[in-house]
């Protein structure tokens, strides 16, 4: 019976990951593990997000003082700032964030070892893990200013 299970039994699916920002695959044991607060406090991150092809039209509308653009940017901010779980990110994007890379890499290794079940400290939506003033400042930047230098209005 054991031989039959070995031959015909279901194989455990290999645990894989992709960068939650760039969507590129991350090889087992690599990448960096960040909290939502670490991600959303980066102005470089917001400049990139608000000028991606999918969001650029909202950014242009916002800077042309069209309320719909600003509303959409607010929804985009909420989408990312309310993520409650850890972010696994790739080498190609880690420099957007002001974090200790060694620690973030070690946390990623723990995450891989637990097949994605490890959660670092200070996990949760940014509004719950950042001080109110810092959260308000970063929200204002993301919604009102992010991407300004990258668009011609």
Residue 116 CA to residue 15 CA, distance in Å, equals 8
pLDDT for 15? 87
Whether residue 104 is contained in a domain is answered as yes
91 inside domain: yes
**Residue 74, domain member (yes or no):** yes
- What is the rounded CA–CA span in Å between residue 123 and residue 116? 14
> How many residues belong to the chain?
153
Long-range contact list for 111-115, CB < 8 A, 24+ apart?
111/33, 111/86, 112/15, 112/17, 112/28, 112/29, 112/31, 115/15
Backbone angles phi, psi at 32, to 5 degrees: -135, 145
Q: What is the reported pTM? A: 0.87
User: Is position 3 within any domain?
Assistant: no
- How many angstroms separate the Cα of 91 from the Cα of each of 31, 42, 149? 6, 16, 25
The backbone torsions φ and ψ at residue 130, rounded to the nearest 5 degrees and listed phi first, read -105, 155
Residue 33 lies in a domain: yes
- Kindly state whether residue 118 falls inside one of the protein's structural domains: yes
Q: Is residue 6 part of a domain?
A: no
What is the reported pLDDT for 27? 95
Residue 20 has a pLDDT of: 96
User: Do the beta carbons of residue 76 and residue 46 sit within 8 Å?
Assistant: no
Alpha helix ranges (H) inside 16-92: 36-40, 43-49, 56-63, 67-81
Structural domain span for residue 22: 17-150
The token pair at 142 is 């993301």
Domain count, the chain: 1
pLDDT along the chain (153 residues), means of 10: 56 85 95 97 97 95 95 97 97 97 97 94 95 97 95 77
Tell me, what's the pLDDT at 145?
Answer: 97
Flag whether 2 is in a domain: no
């Amino acid at each position: 019976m054991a031989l039959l299970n070995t031959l015909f039994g279901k194989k455990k699916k290999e645990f894989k990951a992709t960068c939650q920002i760039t969507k590129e695959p991350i090889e087992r044991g690599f990448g960096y593990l960040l909290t939502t607060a670490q991600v959303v406090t980066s102005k470089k991150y917001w400049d990139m997000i608000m000028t991606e092809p999918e969001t650029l039209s909202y950014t242009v509308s916002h800077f042309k003082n069209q309320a719909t653009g600003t509303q959409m940017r607010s929804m985009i901010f909420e989408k990312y700032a309310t993520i409650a779980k850890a972010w696994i990110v790739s080498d190609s994007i880690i420099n957007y964030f002001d974090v200790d890379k060694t620690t973030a890499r070690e946390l990623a290794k723990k995450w891989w070892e637990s097949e994605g079940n490890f959660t670092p400290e200070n996990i949760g939506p940014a509004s719950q893990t950042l001080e109110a003033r810092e959260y308000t400042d970063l929200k204002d930047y993301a919604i009102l200013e992010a991407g300004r230098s990258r668009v011609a209005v």
